[in-house]
Structure 1
């Protein structure tokens, strides 16, 4: 429209599932059009805020889930069974998890991370506290507080948020080494440093629980929880301002009115749909492992500049919609003590992976790993381990798999087992679509230069 032209009197538009007509008959909008435009603004903000808030909302859902199992502040819980690990977004079904959450507003904590474990400490936006994936004695301090004067023998780490998560994974197979590592893990208040108490580990057992963020208004309740209890980060100031007209304000109760509730409810619905599309069809630069397959780099974090990842709205939303925590050792750029993640959502024909169809993944010989590799299948809706009667979600090189003459391994995914190859089979469920992660523990050079191919899942009769 050029200068001097009159705005059209009626412009049709859609907000969510509702159709509206904008009326600019005399230049200014009518009263009805004003309300329509403000509703459109706030609905669009809710959709984008859903994507932005995923790391923090997921953290709170995770923390509440673990707390619901009976874990106290700073207590470690062990997730050893299939049922327990099914509560975690895209958990590895091969290795045990040991997780705990802590609120630093109660005072500084000391975390003793022994040798022989893989772990790390993250804040409420799921950013790693630098260096905490390594063995050491860490003094964890709340934001805006001075560390104690006596820090001898302690590596001081100040969190940007009050709440943190401590995670440990054991990759050793020797039971003696595993028991020794577990016994050496300690989390205790700084005030008890002279006589550190033991750290009892809570067994999560087989109790059903979930760290998957809820839907609808429950999602926004988690977002408000973050607003109320955590310091605002500079990079998030604009988003918090965008949410103010929808009832979010620090220090005030979250009590949205009927209009705000309707917009937030639909914003969560459409926002999650956007998140699912953004994850399953990643439209980012250099996201493909190789041009001859559909495998994506699941986590596009630059290990040499990890903090920049939290400025990438779509890339971080693609990861945190289906996964938890992110650090340099989860997106390595060179060989070392790390792990790499590739994700697949389509088969070799480009069709979505279907729980009612059968597929074969041929893992080529000589996988570039220092420890082991695994293939894990997840439910698209829950983003957790696939729920099948067999409680089998993965196959890995640590298992006794059938191997082809050339050293390759065929992994089968489908509702029925392949004849003579059941030990290489991951059962899927008709009517429940799925996606897969291929993990490489201690990836080697052939992964980084992408010379080792990983074919797609091939449909089989």
Structure 2
């Protein structure tokens, strides 16, 4: 039998041990976490759930970027432009294109948004000619390419878009495209060197109309988008989540997205239920919209998904996502967020690996010294001779905040090899200048920027040739000049 002092000592040790467990605390990046007998305290449970939901909301922000960007364009198509469902609109000049994320200033765009639930089977018809485009779903996954990069090979064709669940049909004379979702985007860009001739001759042959086995509806002609102010840029704050919720409510659930949708339930976003977040959820969503967009900025402008395109430079692929947003071992998340945060649409032609066809886009956000491009400084971009293109190249400045074309008194955010008065060096190279004021004598080769605002550039290669792919031709970095 143990002595009384021994028993008292053992009891004191046990009590001390119990007290130590009850008071256990762990320091973490979200602060101190306390545990009672190994279980998280109620205060810690709340903290952990808040952090869990905040992290999930940040990732959901990145996940939702392509769908929200497309949803905003769809709303503009219907509510601002007052266009019919499926009606093609032309975006020809600077002002019409201004609402589009990173458009090309040079090439005309013709595009539409289709609600297949409302329209049923729908046809997009394009004439023969030099144009390229795509048909995409609400998540900006490619359903078909159009024009010279599509199955019609530039000879024109009729593309029949079937809504979800529609019986299998294969009518003669149509390229059949099946959509798993409700919303469909279709658009083309005109690539002919004679822009006015392309507009005059090709646009009248572009049309859309309803289809049924018994015949087609009346053709809907193309019309101008008009100069109304608009933007397809994903909105900030709670408006982002409201837009994403509308997508979730209207589009069918994709198998790949079910885990994300499960996480959103605890933030008040659930398919088939109204979006009425409580005060806690609203605060988490508002904070996550700020941090999520900051993550999107870093993920886009300082891409870690791939190295520099030309070794030793700060040029990187702008378009880093595949047309189906899939890789062998995973679905692309960072890649699609990186592209669709600052751009819209993708096609096989925009990712061409075949010399002489399609397009490729290379982006720069930093100068030669690794500093961000800023509108108050002046930079020179030296374009070496014999650029690897069959058609043309262009370089365009975009506003960091809006990811839309830089708006200045100059009214032109772009220079291209098609610019008639562009000045060449004796060796046929070209120096392009970006800055708040044109260097003396360089006005023809200058793009204006805005002091106090960051900007970035896309250098586009139309019909890139072999020297682009083997990198025997390389574009140097932007050099800051006095």
Q: Is TM (by shorter chain) over 0.5?
A: yes
Q: Would the aligned equivalents of 1:90 and 1:385 in 2 still touch at CA under 8 Å?
A: yes
Give distance in 1, aligned partners of 2:214 and 2:242. 37
Q: 1:150 to 1:457 in 2, by over 3 A?
A: closer
Query: What SS does structure 1 have at the residue aligned with 2:304?
Result: coil
Which residues of structure 2 form unaligned runs of 5+? 1-19, 151-155
Residues 1:27 and 2:47 are matched in the alignment: no
Q: Report what 2:88 is aligned to.
A: 76
- CA drift at 1:86: 1.1
Give distance in 2, aligned partners of 1:23 and 1:391. 59
Residues 1:308 and 2:322 are matched in the alignment: no
- CA drift at 1:189: 0.3
CA RMSD in angstroms comes to 2.0
Matches within 5 A, 1:326-365: 326-365=346-385
Q: 1:14 to 1:216 in 2, by over 3 A?
A: farther
Q: Report what 1:109 is aligned to.
A: 122
Q: Would the aligned equivalents of 1:301 and 1:331 in 2 still touch at CA under 8 Å?
A: no
Picking from 146, 149, 152, the partner of 2:172 is 152
Give distance in 1, aligned partners of 2:375 and 2:71. 30
Matches within 5 A, 1:249-268: 249-268=270-289
Q: Would the aligned equivalents of 1:306 and 1:327 in 2 still touch at CA under 8 Å?
A: no
Q: Would the aligned equivalents of 2:210 and 2:218 in 1 still touch at CA under 8 Å?
A: no
Q: Report what 1:229 is aligned to.
A: 250
Q: 1:370 to 1:6 in 2, by over 3 A?
A: farther
Q: Would the aligned equivalents of 2:132 and 2:349 in 1 still touch at CA under 8 Å?
A: no
Give distance in 2, aligned partners of 1:162 and 1:253. 20
Query: What SS does structure 2 have at the residue aligned with 1:55?
Result: helix
Moved more, 322-331 or 132-141: 132-141
Give distance in 2, aligned partners of 1:157 and 1:151. 12
Q: Would the aligned equivalents of 1:123 and 1:159 in 2 still touch at CA under 8 Å?
A: yes
Picking from 412, 416, 422, the partner of 2:443 is 422
Q: Normalized against structure 2, the TM-score is what?
A: 0.89
Q: Would the aligned equivalents of 1:185 and 1:199 in 2 still touch at CA under 8 Å?
A: no
Q: Report what 2:132 is aligned to.
A: 118
Residues 1:59 and 2:73 are matched in the alignment: no
Q: 1:32 to 1:410 in 2, by over 3 A?
A: same
What's the CA shift string for 1:208-246, capped at 9, x where partnerless?
110100011110111111111111111111111111111
Q: Normalized against structure 1, the TM-score is what?
A: 0.93
Q: Report what 1:438 is aligned to.
A: 459
Picking from 205, 208, 214, the partner of 1:187 is 208
Runs of 4+ in 1 over 6 A off after TM superposition: none
Moved more, 107-116 or 185-194: 185-194
Residues 1:39 and 2:39 are matched in the alignment: no
Q: Would the aligned equivalents of 1:359 and 1:457 in 2 still touch at CA under 8 Å?
A: yes
Give distance in 1, aligned partners of 2:250 and 2:363. 34
Q: Report what 2:13 is aligned to.
A: none
Query: What SS does structure 2 have at the residue aligned with 1:178?
Result: helix
Give distance in 2, aligned partners of 1:105 and 1:241. 25
Q: Report what 2:191 is aligned to.
A: 171
Q: Would the aligned equivalents of 1:22 and 1:29 in 2 still touch at CA under 8 Å?
A: yes
Q: Larger C-alpha radius of gyration, 1 or 2?
A: 2
